[in-house]
Chains A and B, each alone.
Chain A
Amino acid sequence: MIQNAQDTANSIDARASVAAPALLALLLGAFLVLGTGFAHSDTIHNAAHDSRHSFAFPCH
């Protein structure tokens, strides 16, 4: 019983330790995609224009 509880605790610890870097990667990835594909700045739009159309991000 104690061993099971310890295993569960270890498992929760292990999941928590991977969750933080994974969420950080998720947020950074979304930030990059938002920047190149969705930002309303004219300069970014012009620089990434062909990439936006090719990836079928809503454009113009």
Chain B
Amino acid sequence: MFRRIFFTAILAGLLGGLAISVVQEFTTTPLILHAEDFENSGGDGSHKHGLLDRGITLIAPALAHGPADSATSTWAPGGGLERKLFTTLANIITGIGFALILTACFTLAGRPISGQTGVLWGLAGFGIASLAPSLGVPPELPGTLSADLVSRQSWWFLCVAATAGGLWAMVFRKGAGWMIGGIVAIALPHLIGAPQPESIGGNVPPELAAHFVAASLVTAAIFWCATGWLAGTFWERFSSREA
């Protein structure tokens, strides 16, 4: 069982992370780089197309958050290929992490799993870890004004745990009580309310920020469908080998 869980998760996470790194190059990454241009410009309209127009499309993340960050000596990947490689590595590790959680759920649920049902599990993961939290803490570009980091992260965990629990109650338990309990659990973090910034109006143009929310959610949906399908497919394949 150990081998089945870990081989499935590592293969699905590796391939899912690699695939989403390619997708990000066309969806979210260009918007992040564009936003960093505004973040550095300090809101000066004359820099509207700045670095991108000059053909400079990759700057180190540590240098991308203004003088406060660049004044410190913290390591950051260089621009270009190095930055892409570290982003890909982070995507793969995140992919394996989420795939481990997915395969753990396959095991605990004890239901038949295939590539097709894997996509449904992946969509549940998308709803839990991407869609539900995005209502309170929307996907943000660098330079967006936001509330305290720890309070946003805490709310994110609360929302993910409540949505996962609520969905589990609605899908795997029968009866009106479980259904109502599930709906309440899913709604609760939003009724409590996510931490919001004290003021709004950062340097990033709203058109860019709005585009990024859609790009991030679509990219996450692709990641979760792909990783769910991969995990379901490998899970089924390793099952027949064990049998």
Which are the 5 A-B pairs with shortest beta-carbon distances?
A29-B100, A32-B97, A48-B90, A56-B139, A51-B90
B134-175 to A contact mask, C-beta < 8 Å, 1/0: 100111111000100100110010000000000000000000
Q: Which of B53-82 contact A (CB under 8 A)?
A: 60-62, 64-65, 72, 74-77
Contact A26 B100 (CB under 8 A): yes
How would you classify the secondary structure of chain A's contact residues: helix, strand, loop or mixed? Answer: helix
In the assembled complex, B203 has its CB within 8 A of some CB on chain A: no
Which residues does chain A contribute within 8 Å of B29, judged by CB atoms?
Answer: 50, 54
A48 to B99, CA, bound (A): 18
On chain B, which size bracket covers the interface?
Answer: 35 or more
In the assembled complex, B32 has its CB within 8 A of some CB on chain A: yes
Which residues does chain A contribute within 8 Å of B142, judged by CB atoms?
Answer: 49, 53, 59-60
Contact A21 B97 (CB under 8 A): no
Contact A18 B77 (CB under 8 A): no
Residues on B close to A: CB < 8 A? 1-2, 5-6, 9, 20, 24, 27-29, 32, 60-62, 64-65, 72, 74-77, 83, 86-87, 89-91, 93-94, 96-105, 107-108, 110, 130, 133-134, 137-142, 146, 149, 152-153, 156, 216-217, 219-220, 223
From the candidates A19, A26, A36, name the one contacting B90 in the complex (CB within 8 A): A36
Known: A25-B100, A32-B97. A52 touches B90 (CB 8 A): yes
Which residues does chain A contribute within 8 Å of B110, judged by CB atoms?
Answer: 15, 18
Contact A22 B90 (CB under 8 A): no
Contact A18 B108 (CB under 8 A): yes
A57 to B153, CA, bound (A): 8
